[in-house]
Amino acid sequence: MDLERAKTIAVAAVKQSGRLLMDNLEKVKAVSFKGKRDIVTEIDFQPEKIIVSSILKNFPGHKILSEEKGTSGGSSKYLWIIDPIDGTINYYHASAPFRIGLCLLESHTPILSVIYNPVKDQLFLAEKGRGATLNGQKIKTSDNQELKNAIVLTHLSSKKGARIRTIAALEKIFEKTMHLRIFGCGLAAMTYVATGKFDIYFNVKTYSWDILPGALLVSEAKGKVTDIQGNEISNRSTSVLATNGKIHDQMLKLLKNI
């Protein structure tokens, strides 16, 4: 597998998708609903089509798992996980933040992550064992070692059970940390952790396309990522805890039994 070629193709695809999103920002009208609170815009499928087409053209045997279309492709040991717009509601309202994310796995192990913020033309890259970058510059998580000084990012799920569990934990977390923030975009939250802007992100109910691109980025930025029980992240994970690594175990204790 030529990882440099894969990276070049992935970057070109997310940047093309980003241009499409920016060209249509504040112009999106047609909306359908996935459940009561999750929306799909007329634009959602277009970035996905750009990325999927590029991957299948260049790597026709690879498997693909994308948020809108599910699983496709061959029986290769390589799997691309794609989130064409993470933060669709934010995008629909021309509000902050939203991201395009994809992750390449080899035999279930993430080896390449690409996350793009088209609003600021920020390209986040991570390769297994080679670190993480923002627009070519190395990034790392914060040096904070005290939970009391930590700012925590989270997400309120559209799923009632997960939302109740999160709300139940927030008061306990707020008492032990500096502050809480909710941005409505998990990949953005993990870019903030990876760059050291914030210290912790957790989500008690999410999906692999919202986890894996950010998980490799945070890990390669010298942070730590598990599920909320402390288990290793995989493409079957349904929760996530991403931290600077120094306060990970302390945060796991706060999340115990939620």
Q: Which residue ranges make up the annotated binding site for Mg(2+)? A: 67, 83, 85-86, 210
Q: Rounded CA gap, 247 and 133, in Å?
A: 22
Structure tokens that stand for 83 in this block = 């989130």
Name which of 153, 147, 149, 162 is nearest 218 in CA terms.
Answer: 153
| Secondary structure element (H or E) that encloses residue 110, with its range | strand 109-117
Question: Buried b / exposed e across 118-133, counting CB within 10 Å, b at 16+?
Answer: bbeeebbbbbbeeebb
**DSSP code for 231:** P
Task: Return the percent helix, strand and coil in the chain, to nearest 5.
Answer: 35, 30, 35
Q: Parallel, antiparallel, or unpaired: how do β-strands 70-73 and 63-66 relate?
A: antiparallel
CA 65 to chain centre: 14
Residues that constitute the known binding site? 67, 83, 85-86, 210
Cα(61)–Cα(4) distance, rounded to whole angstroms?
18
